[in-house]
Structure 1
Amino acid sequence: MKKLILATALMALSTGMAAAQTVRLGTEGAYPPFNFIDDAGNVAGFEREVGDELCKRAGLTCEWVTNEWDSIIPNLQSGNYDVIIAGMSITDEREEVLDFSENYFPPAASAYVGLTADADIKGGVVSAQTGTIQAGYVAESGATLLEFATPDETIAAVRNGESVAVFADKDFLKPYVDQSNGELTFVGEEVALGGGVGMGFRDSDDELRGKFDEAIKSMKADGTLNAAIEKHFGAETKKF
């Protein structure tokens, strides 16, 4: 009986350890081509491909969790997942509340898109997603900021006349412009913001962050990361 109890306890411990080794990757699932939900209901896009490869190289078992953007950092801190991989730009402000990995997407341009090339992006109403570096930029630009919870809503606001333009990552906006049959157009100059896109971690998870840093470095070194960027964003997109 004692042997049976011991064996059961060891099995339970082993199962608990295996479960503890599963790393939960938190993403938005609404920011193509970085991340989106495909027709089968699964997380897809650039970050799904990169995240799966990083987990493989780091020797980790990973599962994907979706979370709305405006609460994505608080839910990391509360333990609902272990890593944020959601098109999040590295900024000094965010580094006050979480730690970032090495960037897996280089610093890229942000841009305005409107219905006409002469849209008043300096004094008019400009839409941006809540909690983004673009929203912060618009708020300080002299324009009137109109915030939305999802990126799709920011573009819809331009189309229905609520805003004169949307301000977001150019790589996110470009497919919408290309597929709009001339309805949407880029406005004004591009703006450089942030230090690239990185994975977000709790301050206490240095070991986990270190594993992903090494995996990111290896993907940069062998060209795998650049290949994924080109696949999802096009040959003209900036690479490492």
Structure 2
Amino acid sequence: MTLGRTLRMLALAGATAFPLIAQSAQAEPASRTLRAASDVGLAPFAMVNPDGGYRGFSIDLVNELASRLGYDDVNVMDVQFSSIFSGLYADRYDMILAPTDITRERAEKMLFTEGYMSNQLGVLMSAEADVEAPKALEGMTLAVNSGSVAEDWANEHQEQYGFDVQRYDQNTDAVQAVMSGQADANVTDSPAADYVAQQQSRLAVAFDIDTGSRVGLAFSKENRELRDRADHAIEQMKADGTLAGLYENWFGSEPRPGGAMTMISVGRGEPGMPGYELTFDQGRSTP
């Protein structure tokens, strides 16, 4: 049995082992405003309202997080995903809110909370396309968001499956490339692909690609205290059903039982990744 699996089994087959709900992650923040970066336009995570404000799953998530951490306000900054990491390193914002897959390469450079959503990639194509597997993508053009795990997958498998890759600063532009005929498919996070397919009858998710990855909130290595407090708040949101409620509201279905949205991990961060700390103080209210 691996360490990661052991930790997940310890982590609660429910929140009974660690009574998180009754505790508070709140502590006095250094600033009254939580600064968060997101790639606005990636539906349904972060979208622009007609009045210029933002809405979406990630927006509701960060507002709930800020409330639990004791902030008065949230400043969500619209940052292209291709440059979102450099802004974190330069301390332009406190955290990356955009759905960010936890990979070992990224975890070497920044700190993650434990995963709050299981992720796979969806291949978004014309609803008339008859494609069911990556091998059928030969000769096609795939549109991806620069800097994303979808781009990583496309780079790794381009030669194997014989497709071309177009890269865009925002996934909305990649989707538009498919709708205009400039590309044959958009590869993106499957929740986003499913949402676009629901909104655009001309498009459908041809198939999913299982990456085995999980999505987490990202912080700079100098901001471990905030990462730890945010990690604790995410665990609370899993335990009291808030996170599952947000998912159901924006994605129209309940999260998969036993997935990252309901399973709580012991410690701080993503087990098995750099930056993870094994602790058993799940009930603490301050860092």
Paired with 2:197 and 2:98, the residues of 1 have a C-alpha distance of: 22
**Pairs within 5 Å for 1:114-129:** 114-115=125-126, 116-118=128-130, 120-129=136-145
Amino acid at match of 1:140: E
Q: Is the 8 A contact 2:111 2:220 kept in 1?
A: yes
1:145 is aligned to 165
Amino acid at match of 2:145: Q
Normalising by structure 1, we get a TM-score of 0.85
1:198 is aligned to 216
Question: How large is the Cα RMSD of the aligned pairs?
Answer: 2.0
Q: Is the 8 A contact 1:36 1:43 kept in 2?
A: yes
TM-superposed CA distance for 1:169, in Å, is: 1.4
How many pairs align? 221
Give 5+ residue unaligned stretches, structure 2: 1-27, 263-287
1:234 aligns with 2:252: yes
Q: Is the 8 A contact 1:126 1:167 kept in 2?
A: yes
TM-superposed CA distance for 1:236, in Å, is: 5.0
Paired with 2:192 and 2:149, the residues of 1 have a C-alpha distance of: 14
1:99-145 Cα offsets, whole Å, 9 max, x none, are 111222x2122111212333542442111111100111112223211
Paired with 2:239 and 2:88, the residues of 1 have a C-alpha distance of: 29
Paired with 1:19 and 1:133, the residues of 2 have a C-alpha distance of: 33
Amino acid at match of 2:176: A
1:53 is aligned to 64
Give 5+ residue unaligned stretches, structure 1: 1-16
Percent sequence identity over matched residues?
Answer: 27
TM-superposed CA distance for 1:150, in Å, is: 0.9
SS of residue paired to 1:34: coil
SS of residue paired to 2:123: strand
Q: Is the 8 A contact 2:101 2:149 kept in 1?
A: yes
Paired with 2:153 and 2:139, the residues of 1 have a C-alpha distance of: 13
Specify whether residues 203 and 194 from structure 1 end up closer, same or farther in structure 2 by C-alpha distance, changes over 3 A only.
farther
Match for residue 97 of structure 2 among 79, 85, 95: 85
Amino acid at match of 2:53: N
1:71 aligns with 2:83: yes
More helix by share: 1
SS of residue paired to 1:97: coil
Normalising by structure 2, we get a TM-score of 0.71
SS of residue paired to 2:147: coil
1:169 is aligned to 189
SS of residue paired to 2:93: coil
Specify whether residues 236 and 227 from structure 1 end up closer, same or farther in structure 2 by C-alpha distance, changes over 3 A only.
closer
TM-superposed CA distance for 1:186, in Å, is: 2.3
Match for residue 204 of structure 2 among 185, 193, 198: 185
SS of residue paired to 1:174: helix
Paired with 2:40 and 2:149, the residues of 1 have a C-alpha distance of: 19
1:112 aligns with 2:123: yes
1:20 is aligned to 31
1:168-206 Cα offsets, whole Å, 9 max, x none, are 11211123222333x22222x311225322111001111
Q: Is the 8 A contact 2:167 2:174 kept in 1?
A: yes
Specify whether residues 63 and 236 from structure 1 end up closer, same or farther in structure 2 by C-alpha distance, changes over 3 A only.
closer
Match for residue 234 of structure 2 among 171, 194, 216: 216
Q: Is the 8 A contact 2:81 2:148 kept in 1?
A: no
What stretches of structure 1 move > 6 A for 4+ residues in a row?
A: none
2:52 is aligned to 41
Say which one has the larger Rg.
1
With a CA cutoff of 8 Å and minimum separation of 6, indicate the structure with the bigger relative contact order.
2
